[in-house]
């Protein structure tokens, strides 16, 4: 079996492994690192369930091969413990019923966080355009868009989402 050495940073920790080049990053995270918060929906890059941060930017982990991520910094949904904005998004998603089964949610949150940081003035139409790469089969998106809008508005007003947990 042809394997290569890879070393990358996952949620702040250096991880070294020997992997087949065909192992994609999502499977590396799930199978090698046991971080199962990253989900697989289509393995073609269209559903968004596998979205993680690679070097700080949202990316599809199902079409990124682990060997190609050698030396990269990867952050999965499990890696935002110290991220205040992510906590605000969690609260807003909960308050606005932005999830049901939760399968799309890790990808939705990572994309939503990127929207809030890059596009502080986004209106609901813009949010919908930016979220079009994250598919949800349960909610019909209304609660998700409300949650992101709520976080954007709170940031503009300098307030926090209630309740504080």
Partner 1 sequence: MKPAAFEYERPERLDDVCTLLAREDVMAKPIAGGQSLGPMLNLRLAQPELLVDLLRIPELRRIEAGKDVIELGACVTHADIEDGCVPGSTGSVLAGVAARIAYRAVRNRGTIGGSLAHADPAADWLSCLSALGAEAVIYGPSGQRVVPVESYLVGAFEAAMEQGEILEAVRLPAISKDTRWGFYKVCRKTGEFAQAIGAVLCDPERGVLRAVIGATNSSPTIIEDASPFFESGGPKEKPGPFNRSAARRMMVGSGLDGDDYFMQIHLIALERAAKML
Q: Does 41 bind partner 1 (CB under 8 A)?
A: no
Backbone angles phi, psi at 18, to 5 degrees: -110, 120
Query: 7 or 132: whose CB is closer to partner 1?
Result: 132
Q: Is 101 helix (H, G, I), strand (E, B) or coil?
A: coil
Query: 78 or 130: whose CB is closer to partner 1?
Result: 130
The helix, strand and coil proportions of the chain, stated in percent and rounded to the nearest 5, come to 40, 15, 45
Among the residue ranges 49-57, 82-90, 96-104, 138-146, the one whose residues contact partner 1 (CB under 8 A): 49-57
Q: Does 78 bind partner 1 (CB under 8 A)?
A: no
What is the C-alpha separation between 81 and 56, in angstroms, rounded? 15
Q: Does 122 bind partner 1 (CB under 8 A)?
A: no
| Residues whose CB falls within 8 Å of the CB of residue 162, separated by 6 or more in sequence, listed in order | 91, 95
Please answer whether residues 111 and 51 qualify as being in contact, where contact means their C-beta atoms are separated by less than 8 angstroms: yes
CA-based nearest residue to 109, from 72, 61, 151: 151
Binding flags for partner 1, 82-121, as an x/- string (CB under 8 A): -----------------------------x--x-------
Q: Does 73 bind partner 1 (CB under 8 A)?
A: no
Residues that bind partner 1 (CB under 8 A): 1-2, 4, 20-22, 24, 27, 43-46, 48, 51, 54, 57-60, 62-65, 67-68, 70, 111, 114, 128-130, 132-134
């Amino acid at each position: 079996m042809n394997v290569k050495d890879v070393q990358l940073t996952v949620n702040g920790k250096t991880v070294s492994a020997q992997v087949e080049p065909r192992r994609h990053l999502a499977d590396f995270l799930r199978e090698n690192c046991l971080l199962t918060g990253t989900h697989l929906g289509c393995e073609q890059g269209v559903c968004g369930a596998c979205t993680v941060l690679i070097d700080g930017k949202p990316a599809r982990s199902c079409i990124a091969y682990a060997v190609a991520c050698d030396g990269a910094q990867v952050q999965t949904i499990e890696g935002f413990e110290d991220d205040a904005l992510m906590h605000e998004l969690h609260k807003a998603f909960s308050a606005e019923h932005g999830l049901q089964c939760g399968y799309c949610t890790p990808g939705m949150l990572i994309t939503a966080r990127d929207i809030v940081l890059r596009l502080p003035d986004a209106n609901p139409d813009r949010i919908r355009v930016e979220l079009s790469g994250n598919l949800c089969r349960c909610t019909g998106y209304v609660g998700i868009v409300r949650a992101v809008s709520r976080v954007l508005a709170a940031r503009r007003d300098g307030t926090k989402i209630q309740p504080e947990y």
